[in-house]
Structure 1
């Protein structure tokens, strides 16, 4: 029995040893591509919904902030966040994919935490403050049948 255990233990130790990995040195002429540099080149300029928030960073060719969002029972309100750099008139429009629906601009929150609203499916308001604004989109609680589904938002900020 003793003679049997010694070779078994020695085989076990030899099989558990890791082989040494040899890494070739990098010369100065080799280019190194990191994962971060690849992903930054592939960033698409889109305003996408993440949870209940859409951050409007990119304008399209016509100068509109456009984004697609969806309302459901988990996210009954969507928050549109954008940065206003100059005073002017803000025009907005909600276009439901179904054509009509109980959806509207509920409220706009200004950088000094004052607010205005409610509005309808169209928004026209003068912005006098610079900074981050938040627009709340949801269904009207005064009407029947809350809107659940996808919609498109267009915002245009005109200089005065």
Structure 2
């Protein structure tokens, strides 16, 4: 099955919006990427988010497009500086799970799952982009199967 890692959409600066909700551009990018994922038939059983406003809003946009049967839940352990190894141990590779969170957490989690070292980045995330990981049958590590980003270059 697959694990989809999503960095929240672009958000307002804290001085403009103390809760750092999504900007108009952030909503548009998340809506566009979620629509493309829906068009490809990306199967998601559940979406977990950090609980922060920007992650929740991004997760809600993906939920509206992808209609995961197990819905949307706030999950502790997805905050920017949380321990990736703690969350990694809870991931069930038998379900199609989407995690919506923050940097540097998403970069570190991706690196931990792919190469076993959270300090060596293996992918540069973009706001509202998706990195799809799949576990290989031969190893316990994950591979980057595909990505879908708002911008190229």
Q: Larger C-alpha radius of gyration, 1 or 2?
A: 1
With normalisation by structure 1, the TM-score equals: 0.25
TM value normalised by structure 2: 0.25
Structure with bigger strand share is 1
By percentage of residues, which structure has more helix? 2
